[in-house]
Amino acid sequence: MSKRQLAMVMDLNKCIGCQTCTVACKTQWTNRNGREYMYWNNVETYPGTGYPKKWMDLGGGFDAAGDLQEGIIPNIEADYGVPWDYSYDSLATFDYTAGNEKAGLRPTSEPTWGPNWDEDEGTGNFPSDNYFFYIPRICNHCTNPGCLSACPRDAIFKRDQDGVVLVDLDRCQGYRYCIAGCPYKKIYFNPKISKSEKCILCFPRIEQGLPPACAQQCVGRIRFVGFLDDEESQVHKLVHKYKVALPLRSDYGTQPNVYYVPPTEAPAKFDAEGKVIEGSQRVPTEELEALFGKDVHTAIKILKDEKEKRAKTGESELMDLLIAYHHSDMFRLDNNYYQEFAKESGKSLLAPIDERYSSGKNTKEITHFKVHA
């Protein structure tokens, strides 16, 4: 367990599935060098197949006795999908006359599977009881990481200063036990360098007091970032004070540090005549319980009560938090905290506080880690 723990809260009532977070992450970290198929941040439609395919059935994590469970390593081609490109070069010479449609902008290989293949499909019968919602997913920077426990090389470490979980790429030998051990399948194999790689919680940004790119760019303003022990932080208030933000599949035993405000705002169901069934629940609470545990019932009640209170009295700190007026409130990151570590060790204030990730031969050329004089 680390001395302090950074956490992220995501309000699922506000996610619009725009994938801006996904693109922010991909362009920053995973658009080349064997990482093309990886989505350190992905947003999947629930119910749905997920990414990688059926990740919830692939094992890993811990049983009730604390023993690491066996897991399956997904197949890159079949379970994640190989990214395809488009024939942009052909556009310059494309003949736009009728009957020639097939020659235009085409995938360069036949797409067979990919993230969000079943986006927005959901389940149920339209319009009476169909539903879906989005679940954005990053590495949970778990307190008890399955990936770390599974690694025989001690290549995965959890930073003491903030609980960020990273891979020391020089130690990693590409055995992939970590991928089997992570029940969220949020660590990926890079076939180009034969190493495992994962979300780094944008630690070079965090150390400068900036939120991760996915959170900064989020169009729905669904993401809050801060230290769990900081009582003034909105993550602390949503997780500990109001208890409306819950971890995903905490039954996996890894103690995740990404929390979700469950979706409560779906419309009621319709009967055969198209009339509203008062009091009906379009998103089944059993499904939410399976995802977020039994505490989801209390969380939903608190959310509904506070919404009602706000409507009646105009007052509710919780509703104000969830409206997310200001980035400065949503992201409570303390760069002075990190600078103290830098000063203690006599390092530049711009240098990463822990060099195990950034000094490896596979990462030191990344410009984000270069300290300019």
CA distance 318 to 305: 10
Task: Single out the residue of 55, 62, 184, 227 in contact with ligand SF4 (rule: CB under 6 A).
Answer: 184
C-alpha dihedral over 271, 273, 275, 280, to 10 degrees? 0
**Looking at residue 43, what DSSP letter applies?**
E
Name the residue type at position 69: Q
CB 153 within 8 A of CB 171: yes
167 vs 303, beta carbon nearer ligand SF4: 167
- Does 21 interact with ligand SF4 (rule: CB under 6 A)? yes
Phi-psi region at 279: left, alpha or beta (left = phi > 0; alpha = psi -120 to 50): left
12 vs 299, beta carbon nearer ligand SF4: 12
Task: Single out the residue of 165, 200, 283, 330 in contact with ligand SF4 (rule: CB under 6 A).
Answer: 165
21 vs 288, beta carbon nearer ligand SF4: 21
Phi, psi of 188 (to 5 degrees): -125, 150
222 vs 239, beta carbon nearer ligand SF4: 222
To ligand SF4, the closest distance from the beta carbon of 246 in angstroms equals: 16
CB 290 within 8 A of CB 46: no
35 vs 269, beta carbon nearer ligand SF4: 35
Count CB neighbours of 339 within 10 A. Answer: 17
- Does 198 interact with ligand SF4 (rule: CB under 6 A)? yes
- Does 74 interact with ligand SF4 (rule: CB under 6 A)? no
CA distance 138 to 182: 12
Q: Which stretch binds ligand SF4 (CB under 6 A): 106-114, 213-221, 278-286, 314-322?
A: 213-221
- Does 18 interact with ligand SF4 (rule: CB under 6 A)? yes
To ligand SF4, the closest distance from the beta carbon of 235 in angstroms equals: 15
To ligand SF4, the closest distance from the beta carbon of 181 in angstroms equals: 7
Name the residue type at position 236: H
- Does 19 interact with ligand SF4 (rule: CB under 6 A)? yes
To ligand SF4, the closest distance from the beta carbon of 62 in angstroms equals: 10
CA distance 128 to 270: 4
CA distance 339 to 228: 19
CA distance 61 to 252: 5
238-257 positions binding ligand SF4, by CB under 6 A: 254
198 vs 236, beta carbon nearer ligand SF4: 198
- Does 17 interact with ligand SF4 (rule: CB under 6 A)? yes
123-162 positions binding ligand SF4, by CB under 6 A: 134, 136, 139-142, 145-147
- Does 16 interact with ligand SF4 (rule: CB under 6 A)? yes
CB 39 within 8 A of CB 30: yes
Phi, psi of 261 (to 5 degrees): -80, 120
14 vs 269, beta carbon nearer ligand SF4: 14
Which residues bind to ligand SF4, rule: CB under 6 A? Answer: 15-21, 43, 134, 136, 139-142, 145-147, 165, 182, 184, 186-187, 198, 218-220, 222, 254
